[in-house]
Amino acid sequence: MNVKQLAAEKAVEYVQDGMKVGLGTGSTAYWAIRKLGERVSGGLQITAVATSQASEDQARELGIPLVAFGDVDSLDLTIDGADELDGALQLIKGGGGALLREKIVAMGSARMIVVADESKAVTTLGKFPLPVEIVPFAWEWTVAALAKLGCKTELRRSGEDLYKTDNGNYIADCRFVAIESAAELALALQRIPGVVEHGLFIGIADLAIIGKSDGTIEIIEGGQDR
Ligand SMILES: O=C[C@H](O)[C@H](O)[C@H](O)COP(=O)(O)O
């Protein structure tokens, strides 16, 4: 049983004819895009916006009509994965480095559905190192400022090189012992000049669909304040 596929395909049931849909990134969103492709081949009429080059390539290959996010005024629904989610639908995202575009697209969507397997559901966020997108300029200063927030910070690498996002920035992975207040941490992160965006998604997700290894699905509804 592929639990990521289970959750992702359930989320695709929420997509209706005529919708403008945000396509997430990662190994769970992959299954949602795949299912959407199948439905488009079967006649579903949608337009989509991708949150990464990888998702754009996949969608294009499947014949899902794509538009640039800048060319639409809003989206109806975004389906995306998460690295961690808690019961209040606060998320950590960015394990795949796509957090900036993902947040821009999710914030511009009327609804965001998170799809995940049960290993992503936690009581308190923070076991997964928080990805923070930072500008390359003087990254050493930004990393030092992040460390002052009480985390162990590592600049993400891709083999020998530093990892670069689709936006040409770096990712600092910040390991906290535990994140006691995601909202307070988000504010502190936003105050650091070299930080472009962080992977805390608070008050953004409306619904989480969690696939479980026994073949069932758990749905958590949240309150967003976009
Ligand atoms: O940057 C990547 C995204 O935030 C992903 O949605 C997140 O890392 C979850 O990915 P996966 O479904 O592969 O665990």
CATH number at residue 137: 3.30.70.260
Q: Return the pLDDT at 178.
A: 87
Say if residue 211 is in the same domain as residue 162: no
Helix (H, G, I), strand (E, B) or coil at 164: coil
Distance CA 202, CA 19 (A): 24
Q: Model confidence over 49-66: pLDDT tens digits?
A: 999 999 999 999 999 999
The parent domain of residue 137 ranges over 130-192
Q: Return the pLDDT at 73.
A: 93
Which residues, in sequence order, are bridge partners of residue 130? 174
Say if residue 15 is in the same domain as residue 105: yes
Residue of the CA atom closest to atom 8 of ligand 1: 95
Q: Are 49 and 112 in contact (CB under 8 A)?
A: no
> Residues 80-101: what's their mean pLDDT?
97
Q: Return the higher-pLDDT residue of 222 and 181.
A: 181
Q: Does the pLDDT at position 224 exceed 70?
A: no
Say if residue 12 is in the same domain as residue 93: yes
Say if residue 96 is in the same domain as residue 186: no
Q: Which residues contact 22 (CB under 8 A, 6 or more apart)?
A: 48, 49, 51, 75, 77, 78, 79, 80, 105, 106, 108, 109, 112
Q: State how many domains the chain has.
A: 2
The position carrying tokens 């460390």 is: 147
Q: Model confidence over 119-143: pLDDT tens digits?
A: 999 999 999 999 999 999 999 999 9
Distance (Å) from CA 61 to ligand 1 centroid:
20
Q: Model confidence over 173-201: pLDDT tens digits?
A: 999 998 999 999 999 999 999 999 999 99
* CATH number reported for the structural domain that contains residue 38 in this entry: 3.40.50.1360
**Catalytic residue list contains 84:** no
Distance (Å) from CA 80 to ligand 1 centroid:
8
Nearest to 130 by CA among 29, 72, 199, 179: 199
Distance (Å) from CA 160 to ligand 1 centroid:
23
Q: Does the pLDDT at position 150 exceed 90?
A: yes
Say if residue 10 is in the same domain as residue 50: yes
> Residues 20-39: what's their mean pLDDT?
98
Which residues of 69-156 form beta strands (DSSP E)?
75-80, 84-85, 91-92, 109-117, 130-134, 152-155
Share the mean pLDDT of the chain: 96
Q: Which residues contact 125 (CB under 8 A, 6 or more apart)?
A: 84, 86, 90, 91, 92, 178, 179, 182, 200
Q: How many CA atoms lie within 13 A of 199 on its CB side?
A: 28
Q: Which of 56, 102, 133, 197 is catalytic?
A: 102
End-to-end CA distance of the chain: 35
**Does residue 221 fall inside a structural domain?**
no
